[in-house]
Amino acid sequence: LLGEQYRSYSAITLSPCELLVVDAVDLHALMVDEPELGLLLMRNTASVLSRRLRLMNLRLMNVLRSRFL
């Protein structure tokens, strides 16, 4: 979604499911055709990234506190 670098992913599901792989070109076309879906994807992505950044900040602060206190 956010870069041109390849990355591997893994997932565990609670029930059988089918996954759909969407490349960047198809994703962009889908977001143009369905702007509400695009907005939802971007909001969810921003939410996940924000949560991860806050968690990393907390971890960093804990490491710094333990080293300098």
pLDDT band at 1 (very low <50, low <70, confident <90, very high): low
Do residues 48 and 4 lie in contact, with contact meaning Cβ atoms separated by under 8 Å? no
Residues in contact with 32: Cβ distance below 8 Å, sequence separation at least 6, in sequence order: 38
pLDDT digits (tens, 9 = 90+) for 36-59: 999 999 999 999 999 999 999 999
pLDDT of residue 8: 75
Residue holding tokens 């939410």?
47
pLDDT band at 19 (very low <50, low <70, confident <90, very high): confident
- pTM here is 0.66
Distance, CA of 61 to CA of 38 (rounded, Å): 34
Do residues 1 and 45 lie in contact, with contact meaning Cβ atoms separated by under 8 Å? yes
H runs (alpha helix) in the chain: 24-33, 35-68
